[in-house]
Amino acid sequence: MKQPFRKYIPGHPDADANGNVSVHRLIATEMLGRPILRNEVVVWKNGDNHDNRPENLEVISKSEHVKRNGARGPRHGNWVGGRTKALNGYIWILYPDHPEAKKYHGYIPEHRLVMEKMIGRRLLPGEVVHHKDGDKTNNDPSNLELFASNGEHTHSHGKNPSERRDPTVSRRQVPCMCGCGTVIDEFDRQGRRVRFVYGHWARTVRR
* pLDDT band with cut points at 50, 70 and 90 for residue 157: low
Q: What's residue 119's pLDDT?
A: 93
- At residue 206, does pLDDT exceed 50? no
Q: What's the confidence (pLDDT) of residue 140?
A: 94
Please say if the pLDDT value at position 124 is more than 80.
Answer: yes
Inter-residue contact 53 to 64 (CB < 8 Å): no
CA distance 111 to 145: 10
Which one is predicted more confidently, 82 or 160?
82
Which residues are CB-neighbours of 180 under 8 A, at least 6 positions away?
197, 200, 203
Residue 69 to residue 75: CA distance in whole angstroms: 10
Residue 194 is classified by DSSP as -
CB 185 within 8 A of CB 191: no
Q: Which has the higher per-residue pLDDT, 198 or 130?
A: 130
What is the sign, positive or negative, of the torsion defined by CA atoms of 15, 21, 22, 26?
Answer: positive
The share of the chain scoring above pLDDT 70, in percent, equals 75
Q: How far apart are CA 83 and CA 30, in angstroms?
A: 41
pTM above 0.75, yes or no: no
Q: What local confidence, expressed as pLDDT, does residue 44 receive?
A: 87
Q: What are the CB-based long-range contacts (under 8 Å, 24+) for 101-110?
A: 102/202, 102/205, 105/205, 105/206, 105/207, 106/72, 107/205, 110/83, 110/139
One-letter identity of residue 9: I
What is the reported pLDDT for 116?
93
* Lowest mean per-residue pLDDT among 77-91, 154-168, 187-201: 154-168
Query: Is residue 144 predicted with pLDDT exceeding 80?
Result: yes
Asked whether residue 71 carries a pLDDT value surpassing 60, the answer given is no
Residues 6+ apart with CB under 8 A from 109: 90, 91, 92, 93, 129
Query: Higher model confidence: residue 187 or residue 75?
Result: 187
CA–CA separation, 164 vs 199, rounded Å?
A: 21
Domains of the chain by residue range:
6-70, 83-204
Q: What is the mean pLDDT of the chain?
A: 78
Q: Which residues contact 92 (CB under 8 A, 6 or more apart)?
A: 83, 84, 85, 86, 107, 108, 109, 110, 205
Mean pLDDT along residues 113-132? 90
Residue 183, pLDDT above cutoff 90: no
| pLDDT greater than 90 at residue 115 | yes
